[in-house]
Chain A
Amino acid sequence: MSIASLYVDRQVADLPETRRICSRLGMPAAYVENAEQLYADLAAAEDPVGSGKKRLFLTRNKGAFLKECPGTRHYTCCGYRILHIGSYCIMDCSYCILQAYFHPPLLQYYVNHEELFRELERCFGARGIQRIGTGEFTDSLIWEPWTELSRTLAMRFARQDRAVLELKTKTANIDGLLDLAHRQKTILAWSLNTERVIHSEERGTASLGARLRAAARSAEAGFPVAFHFDPVLIYEGGEAEYRQVVDRLFDAVAAERIVWISLGAFRFMPDLKAVIRKRFPGSTIIYGEFIAGLDGKARYFKPLRMQALRSLAQAIRRRSPTTCVYLCMEDDEVWRHALDVTPAERGGLARMLDEAAVKHCGLQAEAGGR
């Protein structure tokens, strides 16, 4: 999917990042005095969710760049911090929560990088290990063709030893990063799924083969890499297909390079169901056996996801018994069934991940931290 319209917040028109992006895009920009009007126009479009993917708005992040991951008390959260570089995505996955998260969803990119880097500096000065990612409200690497933010961030992270940056993607846009002296402080991470799911549910994303090739090249360039099986979908024959993906993953990338692998069964806010039904009428993913989770999200019936996650975890363990595998937003009961351990038995999920980051990224663990 490509950008059809470019909008620039009048207040950031003269920032260097704005100028760079405008010139790289090489398309006329509409200058916006009042963002509300832009949102209203988008909301009035026939398919606001789809249209928002083609309208890029360069603006200022008026809030904090660093945010805590929005976990809930019922399910174990990983204690990740989100670096809010922009929002939404040019790819189009049926299950993407961002379709129902922003009202209306619009591709926004924040260009006030001075403030971003000031906040990061403060964060680097804090005690304890920090795991920071840009791939929560957007895909980390869709911006590569027009910006150099990931590259700049990776270089900045390379100059310190307390925080690690995770760039999470479904693209293969890594060419601009491979030559960096990253000092292992940037983890390149891919969301993985089965060929069938990628084909039917992940429009505009890189193929599984392309993602794995990109991961292999990144690992060869010395980057720590990570993988996220999220969302895991439950369907007939799915377990075998996920096992094949695991095999292809370990055939492509040496296990020692992998910092962690997360597993997350498909879950969604109830509002997303109508969006998927409308925008992806051929998709059947919402017709699984879902119940209302304790956090209000629709989740697969617990025994089903326990089984699916266990099968996937076992496939990973068979190929690499020591790789850090964790579950995304699950409770102890699911952890025990899928992984034979609870986070508490390992000192908590945040600690598990911190230790993996220390081991693979050469972070300096510091007493009195987290």
Chain B
Amino acid sequence: MASDDGRLEERPRVVRLRQIDPANDSFRITTRHRDERLELSLERIGLLTPPLVVSAADGLAIVSGFRRVEACRRLGWETIPARVLSEHTPAYACALRAVAENALARPLNLIETSRALTLLEQHAPGGRLPPGDAAALGLPAHAGLAAKLKPLCRMPPEVQEAVLEETVSFAMAGELGGMPAAAAAAFARLFRRLKTSLNKQREIVTLVVEIAAREGIDPCAVLGDPALAGIQGGEELDRNEQTRRIRRRLRQRRFPALLAAEEAFQALRRRLKLGDNLQLSPPRDFEGARFTLSLSFENLEELRSLRDKLDELAGHPDLHRLLTGKGTGFAGAPEP
């Protein structure tokens, strides 16, 4: 590797687990957690690949092998074989090793990629990751993509979890990344529960952010609306129904007049008793002036009956209210 001078001294040694600082996560790339199979394998077969550690002022810091060290600790081992880098090893060289030992063993997920890029950049000479090093490690070399990836590992844990379990896409994570941490975490918690599509997530985010901006409150306060909590607590509702109701509730708050007019319109339309073969649609968002009436029929008899229905409709006071009531948002319509 271009930036690795290849003269890293890596000594095999048996080290005491007590010497390894469990809180030092400086070089952690992996997002994987405890895996009992690893403990089982260690117990039966032993530690095949010794972790890589570096001497630090107060003991040893893990460079690669976090899960292995944790598993050994849980098994109650006191010593383990390790590969030890000298305390003079440059931090960037350690970072390269940390990334290489993960990235070359398995594909990194988005958070790991983000951690790898951030770690390397943090220690790279001049703060700039040489593109050749990124490419050699299989990391994205495209500056734009790398810039979008890097903030991921600094996002609240809830967002990172949601990205890992793919309930929040990379695109949505980018949007959440621009928000205060509490709001981003609140959205991530909601989306992990709802497991809904990116489009619906976007709609929810836009509605919440715009309501908050208009009302001069925090997005968390909008998400904390007891009515929303009630919908999520509704045991009998499946996720799709919860999502639908949450969107509706938010739209009601964001567009109260539009939603009220829609409901009033629907109530009036129901009173017309149009039946299955007649459909009356308002102009989109009530903006245009033209309503659409569509008829469906199979035979002349049905057509004649529709004609009679149309004659009846033409004199129906509720149709008149539908056609002329826009200025008041169909106010005075019967309760939906």
Q: Taking beta carbons and an 8 Å cutoff, which residues of A are in contact with B? A: 74, 284, 287, 289, 291-294, 299, 301-304, 306-307, 310, 331-333, 337
A291's partner among B256, B285, B328 (CB-CB below 8 A) is B285
Q: Output the nearest chain B residue to A300 by Cβ-Cβ distance.
A: B257
Interface size on B, residues (CB 8 A): 21
* CB pairs A–B below 8 angstroms (22 shown): A284-B214, A287-B210, A287-B211, A287-B214, A289-B254, A289-B256, A291-B284, A291-B285, A293-B287, A294-B287, A301-B255, A301-B257, A301-B261, A301-B285, A301-B286, A302-B285, A303-B286, A303-B327, A303-B328, A304-B329, A332-B289, A337-B327
CB-CB under 8 A from A331, the residues of chain B are 289
Q: Output the nearest chain A residue to B216 by Cβ-Cβ distance.
A: A284
B287's partner among A302, A307, A337 (CB-CB below 8 A) is A302
Question: How far apart are the CA atoms of A332 and B289 in the complex, in Å?
Answer: 9
Q: Decide if the interface of chain B is mainly helix, strand, loop or mixed.
A: helix
Residues B213 and A284 in contact, CB atoms below 8 Å apart: yes
Q: Does B316 lie at the interface of the complex (its beta carbon under 8 Å from any beta carbon of A)?
A: no
Q: A291-B285, A301-B258, A301-B286 are in contact. List 18 more A-B contacts (CB 8 A).
A: A284-B216, A287-B214, A289-B254, A289-B255, A289-B257, A291-B258, A292-B285, A292-B287, A301-B261, A301-B285, A302-B287, A303-B328, A304-B257, A304-B329, A306-B327, A331-B289, A333-B289, A337-B326
Q: Output the nearest chain A residue to B285 by Cβ-Cβ distance.
A: A291
Question: Which of B256, B258, B287, B326 has the largest number of chain A CB atoms within 10 A?
Answer: B287
Question: How far apart are the CA atoms of A147 and B255 in the complex, in Å?
Answer: 47
Question: How far apart are the CA atoms of A166 and B76 in the complex, in Å?
Answer: 89
How far is the CB of B213 from the nearest CB of chain A, in Å?
6
Q: Taking beta carbons and an 8 Å cutoff, which residues of B are in contact with A? A: 210-211, 213-214, 216, 254-258, 261, 284-289, 326-329
Residues B288 and A303 in contact, CB atoms below 8 Å apart: no
Question: How far apart are the CA atoms of A318 and B289 in the complex, in Å?
Answer: 29
CB-CB under 8 A from B210, the residues of chain A are 287
Question: How far apart are the CA atoms of A310 and B257 in the complex, in Å?
Answer: 17
Question: Which of A287, A299, A307, A332 has the largest number of chain B CB atoms within 10 A?
Answer: A287
Q: Output the nearest chain B residue to A234 by Cβ-Cβ distance.
A: B257
CB-CB under 8 A from B327, the residues of chain A are 303, 306-307, 310, 337
Question: How far apart are the CA atoms of A337 and B258 in the complex, in Å?
Answer: 18
CB-CB under 8 A from A299, the residues of chain B are 287
Question: How far apart are the CA atoms of A236 and B144 in the complex, in Å?
Answer: 43
Q: Output the nearest chain A residue to B260 by Cβ-Cβ distance.
A: A303
CB-CB under 8 A from A307, the residues of chain B are 327-328
CB-CB under 8 A from A293, the residues of chain B are 287
CB-CB under 8 A from A287, the residues of chain B are 210-211, 213-214
Question: How far apart are the CA atoms of A268 and B326 in the complex, in Å?
Answer: 22
How far is the CB of A290 from the nearest CB of chain B, in Å?
9
